[in-house]
Amino acid sequence: MQGNIDLGKAKRGLLIVILLGVLAITVIIALTFNKRTLGALAKIDITFLFLAILAMILSWVFSALPFYILTRVVKQPISFASSLFVYLGGSFFGLVTPFGSGLIPAQVFILTGNRLSPGQAAAVTGSRATISSWLFVLLGAAIFLAFGSSLSSSAKAGILGIAIAATVWSLIILFFIKLPEKAKSAVDGIFNNRLVVRIFGRDRLGKAKTRINSEIDYLNLSLKDLFSYSNVPAILTSFLSEVTAWLAIFSVLPLILFGFGVRSNFAQLVFRLFLLFSVAPASPVPGGSGLVEGALVALLSGLVPTIIKGVIVLIWRLLTYYLTLLVGGIVVLRLVARSAHGNQTR
């Protein structure tokens, strides 16, 4: 694993996340904490915090389920424990890299360690990402219908951006289903470039091109299977699993508020969280660390009492981000140890 995923880059990203997270926590505490905040914190109902933690665990379970389902469609089934490893291990790399760029490559790599070819792994991860994007399009459409007249131009732009991203994902999937030969032609064009040939050598490029073309075939066949009429139930089940996972994540903030005895406007909470989750992946800062905290403090204005707004943001961020980061990091360490042990026994 160490030779295929840049662990050094992940460590640097993790360091940035920790430093910016500490800075954000310090600023929030300095600006929002006082004696009344501490008094409210002492009276919190722990039951609701426990339910919020359970909601996050539930989100992991249902986020992992599509990998369990889709790998069966491509006839390379993995265990549910391995599906959890794919989700949590991939999430770790997504949370410590700019724009979440490490998410899908890490998921593909972990899947290849479960006997899937790179083409099959790319089909599974790409399909899951596409299904997830469909969910956000539907949620965005529902929010537009419910709040359309009161939405700001930036909110409308965010919803439009989600629709564009989902369309791009869907078109990429469609391209590899319908036009795999075009993809191979593009590979040929790159590998036959004189400069590329001069740098890497014709023999090495020939072997690489054969391997890549083979994986394009795997990708094409796997995507055809995944999106065939016979596998509509698997796609629908994966979609419903994503719905359940995101419902669990969206429920964390209301549960924290209930713990403080706050009954806020749930529809507005969902709307503002939707905006936050939609914009966060576009952050060049790993995990949106520091930016997300500040944005949520602003988004909760008018919905949450000022004296507890900061502590609610910190608890929410701890449960929805740092808990996944911690568990995902443990998964990555276990995968690295397993990979090192496998290399020693060869």
Residue 230 CB neighbours (<10 A): 8
Supply 81's token pair.
């424990």
User: How far apart, in whole angstroms, are the C-alpha atoms of residue 245 and residue 276?
Assistant: 17
Sign for the CA dihedral angle at 139, 143, 146, 149 comes to negative
| Sole residue written with tokens 């998410």 | 103
Supply 346's token pair.
């060869």
Q: What confidence score (pLDDT) does residue 282 get?
A: 78
Distance from chain centroid for Cα 325: 12
Phi/psi of residue 334, each to 5°?
A: -65, -40
Q: What confidence score (pLDDT) does residue 238 get?
A: 97
From residue 153, alpha-carbon distances to 2, 148, 179, 281, 309 in Å are: 45, 10, 37, 20, 26
* Residues above pLDDT 70, as percent of the chain: 96
User: How far apart, in whole angstroms, are the C-alpha atoms of residue 221 and residue 219?
Assistant: 6
Q: What confidence score (pLDDT) does residue 225 get?
A: 94
**Domain ranges for the chain:** 7-345
Closest among 139, 329, 134, 152 to 250, alpha carbons compared: 139
Closest among 109, 62, 59 to 250, alpha carbons compared: 59
> Could you give the count of Cα atoms lying within 13 Å of 282 in the half-sphere of its Cβ?
9
E runs forming strands in the chain: none
Task: Report the mean per-residue pLDDT for the chain.
Answer: 90
* Residues above pLDDT 90, as percent of the chain: 59
Q: Please, which pLDDT band fits residue 194 given cuts at 50, 70 and 90? A: confident
Q: What confidence score (pLDDT) does residue 167 get?
A: 94
* Number of helices and strands in the chain (H, E): 15, 0
pLDDT of 2 above 50: no
pLDDT of 345 above 80: no
Q: What confidence score (pLDDT) does residue 183 get?
A: 94
Amino acid letter, 281: P
Higher pLDDT, 298 or 80: 80
Three-state DSSP at 116 gives coil
Q: Please, which pLDDT band fits residue 284 given cuts at 50, 70 and 90? A: confident
pLDDT of 344 above 70: no
Question: Each residue of 85-142: pLDDT tens digit?
Answer: 999 999 999 999 998 889 999 999 999 999 999 999 999 999 999 999 999 999 889 8
Q: What is the pLDDT averaged over residues 276-282?
A: 83
Q: What is the pLDDT averaged over residues 313-335?
A: 95
Radius of gyration of the chain (CA): 22
Q: What confidence score (pLDDT) does residue 248 get?
A: 97
